[in-house]
Amino acid sequence: MASTYATRTVGTATNNNKFTISVWSKRSKLTGDYQGILTSRGSGWDAGIGLYWGNDESVWYNFSTSSTALATVSTTAKHRDVNSWYHIVIAGDTTQSGTNKLKIWVNGEQQTSFTNDDRSSFVGLSNDLGHTGYPMQLGRKHDGSYYYDGLMSHLHFVDGTAYDASAFGETDTTTGEWKAKTSPSVNYGNNGFLILKDGNTITDQSSNSNNFTLGGGTLTDLKDNPDNIFATINPLDFYYGGQASGSLSNGNTKIQTAGSGVETYTLSTLGASSGKYYCEMKLVSSTAAHQTRFGIAYEPTNSTSDWLGKRNVGWSYRQDGKVTNNSSNYSGTWNSYTSGDIIGMAIDLDNNKLYFSKNGVFQNSGVPTSGSTGTGGVTLTADKTYLIGIGDETGGYSVCELNFGNGYFGTTAITTNSGNGYAGAEGSSKFNYQPPTGYSALSTKGLNE
């Protein structure tokens, strides 16, 4: 969503003295800048009021105290986990006194420590998010800056009532984790709405019809959600030696590797030490004499000359058809691949075997369901926690899109099987090709399969 936003114009409020925002957010990047979640502008001035991720990774809320003054609340706690979904709830109530006028919860825990704390100055929404005739902005500041980069789900705005976090979430009695209430019992008021529920729709799913309009970019309906977190490429493990050309996008599922002779790799946010997992990589493009490498590793790299498969910690399928570990190529037949090809990878950590496919056909006569026999597979080191890796070797760079089961390559939805794709064994993923029997997506549900 790095360039995506939506907007709607605010109507007459039920009660500007009370409001609630509840949203689930999964960040893609820690940018060192603000990222707008739900914002507007103040009456008669150009302030950016509303809910942001702060430039210090805190939850940040700006509000107007008059037509010319701005107040700020920001949590002391930092939220830097790009793999997790965060549940943020902000409730305002001017009938309360002091700091009780504005309350913030993250994952069900009320925040009590603040770097900036103007909560007692809250005077209601008449000059900002609830101002009649002014547009709300989803995913950016109103002036076109501070775009949000990540995923959102279950965004509620309530006009006229201040709810606490327990109205929208609850603790799972089995896992002890905070989870969403998918159909909370709340009164939305005149301006309230519910969007991004179980998908990417910005049509209001409360009874109000307070719909948003897409202003720019693309909204994708990913399988990743607060109830099932999928692996992505890890931006905190993005070691390209300061090379500006290396970049991640599309929720950290698309990578452009760095050029200038840099040879390295990046790993996924999730890993596993047992079970069976499947994922796909589409090669979008690569420069001449370049070799993309797709595979797994049990250790990250901190070198710009450490391609995936160079050391004994990693295995990779190279663009020219070589499968490598510890700088040695396996004997066997793996075809080369080029732009537009989709490479599948089946990881059997119960039998420590690894298999690769090209456009749905497993190479080297591989049979991922052959168990300990490992027909056509390569043997992995036992008793390690493996993560999915993507990188390059030799000069130039490549552009690759990974589908960890989210149902997209970049912003292009899977269209096979009448648009339904194929699910892994966990039942909630969406791949271009049918995963082998018993293989799941690398996701929280897949890890528990």
User: Which residues partner with 297 through β-bridges?
Assistant: 314, 387
Q: Do 264 and 201 reside in the same domain of the chain?
A: no
Residue 224 lies in a domain: no
Q: What is the pLDDT of residue 402?
A: 98
Residues 239 and 132 in one domain: no
In this prediction, residues 332-346 reach a mean pLDDT of: 96
Q: Are residues 85 and 207 in the same domain?
A: yes
247 and 210 within one domain: no
- Kindly report the average pLDDT of the chain as a whole number: 92
116 neighbors 87 (Cβ within 8 angstroms): no
**Looking at 185, 216, 247, which one is the last position of a domain?**
216
Q: Which domain holds residue 242?
A: 235-447
Buried b (16+ CB within 10 A) or exposed e, 157-174: bbbbbbbebebbbeeeee
Same domain membership, residue 82 and residue 133: yes
| Residue finishing a domain among 183, 216, 249 | 216
Measured CA to CA, the distance from residue 12 to residue 8 in angstroms comes to 13
> Is 221 a domain residue?
no
Band (pLDDT 50/70/90 cuts) for residue 44 is low
Confidence of residue 289 (pLDDT cuts 50, 70, 90): low
Q: Does the structure show a pLDDT above 90 at 47?
A: no
Instruction: Report if residue 308 sits inside a domain.
Output: yes
Average pLDDT over residues 244-262: 81
Mean pLDDT calculated for residue range 164-186? 93
Look up the CATH number of the domain holding residue 14: 2.60.120.200
Question: 140 and 87 in one domain?
Answer: yes
Residue 272: give its domain's CATH number. 2.60.120.920
212 with 240, same domain: the answer is no
Q: What is the pLDDT of residues 292-328, one digit of tens each?
A: 999 999 999 888 888 999 999 999 999 999 999 999 9
**How much is the average pLDDT of 267-282?**
97
Number of domains in the chain: 2
Domain membership of residue 349 (yes or no) is yes
The angle at the Cα of 422, spanning 150 to 82, to the nearest 5 degrees, equals 20
Pair 205, 285 in one domain: no
Look at residues 162, 182, 216 and tell me which one is the last residue of a structural domain. Answer: 216
Q: Is residue 229 part of a domain?
A: no
pLDDT tens digits for range 98-125: 999 999 999 999 999 999 999 999 999 8
Gap between the Cα atoms of 68 and 41, Å rounded: 11
pLDDT in tens, 262-274: 888 999 999 999 9
pLDDT-derived band at 237, boundaries 50, 70, 90: confident
Query: Which pLDDT value is given to residue 97?
Result: 96
Same domain, 115 and 165: yes
Q: Looking at the structure, tell me whether residues 59 and 139 fall in a common domain.
A: yes
Average of per-residue pLDDT across 373-389: 97
247 assigned to some structural domain: yes
For every residue of the chain, which 3-state class applies, written as one string?
CCCCEEEEECCCCCCCCEEEEEEEEEECCCCCCCEEEEEEECCCCCCEEEEEECCCCCEEEEEECCCCCEEEEEECCCCCCCCCCEEEEEEEECCCCHHHHEEEEECCEECCCEEEECHHHCCCCCCCCCCCCCEEEECCCCCCCCCCCEEEEEEEEEECCCCCHHHCEEECCCCCCEEECCCCCCCCCCCCEEECCCCCCCCCCCCCCCCCEEEECCCCCCCCECCECECCECHHHCCCCCCCCCEEECCCCEEECCCCCCECEEEEEEEECCCEEEEEEEEEEECCCCEEEEEEECCCCCCCECCCCCCCCEEEEECCCCEEECCEECCCCCCCCCCCCEEEEEEECCCCEEEEEECCEEHHHCCCCCHHHCCCCEECCCCCCEEEEEEEECCCCEEEEEECCECEECCEECCCCCCCCECCCCCCCEECCCCCCCCECCEHHHHCC
Q: What is the pLDDT of residue 45?
A: 67
269 and 160 within one domain: no
Q: How many CA atoms, within 13 angstroms, populate the side-chain half-sphere of residue 121?
A: 14
Residue 10 and residue 116 share a domain: yes
| Per-residue pLDDT at 429 | 97
Q: Is residue 225 part of a domain?
A: no
